Structure 1
Amino acid sequence: MRRALLAITGLAAGTTALVVLKGTPGTGQAAPDRPVAQAPVAAGGSAAPAPAPSGVTPSARPSASAKPSARAGAGRTPGARGGTTTRATTAAPRATTSAPKVSTRTVTGPTVAYRYGSLRVQITLSGSRIVDATGLDMPVGGQEGLRADDVQARYSGSSGEVVAKQSANLDTVSGATYTSTAYKQSLQAALDKA
């Protein structure tokens, strides 16, 4: 997005500079000795600069105080076609492509039954990186709920152990071995799906 904005800004600045340098007819500038071929129009309606013919040296813009007789011979280079030169122009900005967008997807592991109930794990991936994890359908209330809360607090969330380790190789939560094991099994199955 930033590159596209810079390209558009550069194109606008270049076009403005060309208009200012060329000026408008009848403002005291001398007409060119020969007609200049019309520049091709690039996408977006702006004119792309025409390359200078070979053997032609870019000349400086004559000052407004220069005499007409001095202007007529200004910018001529020996051996140039027609004896005149063209003004140097800036190159149009190149079209840029943006980086591919990273897709975010959610994968849910299977329900794993264990001694105190059942649970399943859902992970969110950005590209191939785990950015979030959470336990679903975990036991609520009583000792089973407390164990599930401990496991959820340790493993889940964007700052949990799953995101930190980027794998199912997690440390077992003390006092919640069965719940930890079930969580890791569902997580591993979700990773295998992803």
Structure 2
Amino acid sequence: MRRAVLAITGLAAGTTALVVLKGSPGAGQAAQNIPADQASVAPGGSGPAPGVTPTPGPAGSASAPSRSTRPSSTPGTKKSTATARPTTAAPRTTTTAPKPSTRTVTGPTVDYEYGSLQVRITLNGSRIVDATALGLPLGGQSGLRSDDVQARYSGTSGEVVAKQSANLDTVSGATATSAAYQRSLQAAIDQA
């Protein structure tokens, strides 16, 4: 709010100074050509507009301020003031690249000696952005092996996303689970 007040005050002061400075040289002659009843440029008033100092006419008398007056070629003719037309900006055209489609592909269920699992991958365009194993065994030694495989391969920062393929390193102690994960993953990649 303070900045807006300062900006408006500065604009008003700058405009006033510009009018005073622009009107100084030769303004008296332009003011002499305007009849006294048409001398005011302030709407609805007979005196100068607020903040505008009148320029002295002949013999020290005050005449109308010279805001946008130009000497006319014919003395005594009414001056027309040019009005600025508001300009409109051209419509902004933005082109954005088409967003790649995100889709999910689930590989087939692969049976192995500790149970069965299937791998679901999420793709953004043709890039794998996430992977997870579904149906992994829970509890006991099988659950521990499954947790190791899931932690290493799956997720947005897992080995599947890093390598973008089913050519993964085998998790030590979980060879069968790793092989089943890789088979389902390869089938999901082939479907994608």
TM-score (norm 1): 0.56
Equivalence for 2:100: 102
Cα separation, 2, equivalents of 1:65 and 1:147 = 88
Equivalence for 2:68: 65
Cα separation, 2, equivalents of 1:166 and 1:180 = 16
What are the within-5 Å matches in structure 2 for residues 177-188 of structure 1? 177-188=175-186
Code of the residue aligned with 2:96 in structure 1: it is: S
Equivalence for 2:122: 124
Cα separation, 1, equivalents of 2:139 and 2:89 = 70
What are the within-5 Å matches in structure 2 for residues 155-170 of structure 1? 155-170=153-168
Equivalence for 2:132: 134
Cα separation, 2, equivalents of 1:69 and 1:112 = 96
Cα separation, 2, equivalents of 1:107 and 1:120 = 11
3-state SS of paired residue (1:96): coil
Residue-pair matches, total: 124
Cα separation, 2, equivalents of 1:139 and 1:106 = 23
Q: Which has the larger radius of gyration?
A: 2
How much does 1:116 deviate? 1.1
3-state SS of paired residue (1:132): strand
Task: Please state if 1:191 is matched with 2:189.
Answer: yes
TM-score (norm 2): 0.56
Unaligned stretches of 5+ residues in structure 2: 1-40, 42-65, 74-78, 80-84
2:148 corresponds, among 147, 150, 153, to 150
RMSD: 3.0
Equivalence for 1:47: none
How much does 1:173 deviate? 0.2
Cα separation, 2, equivalents of 1:125 and 1:158 = 11
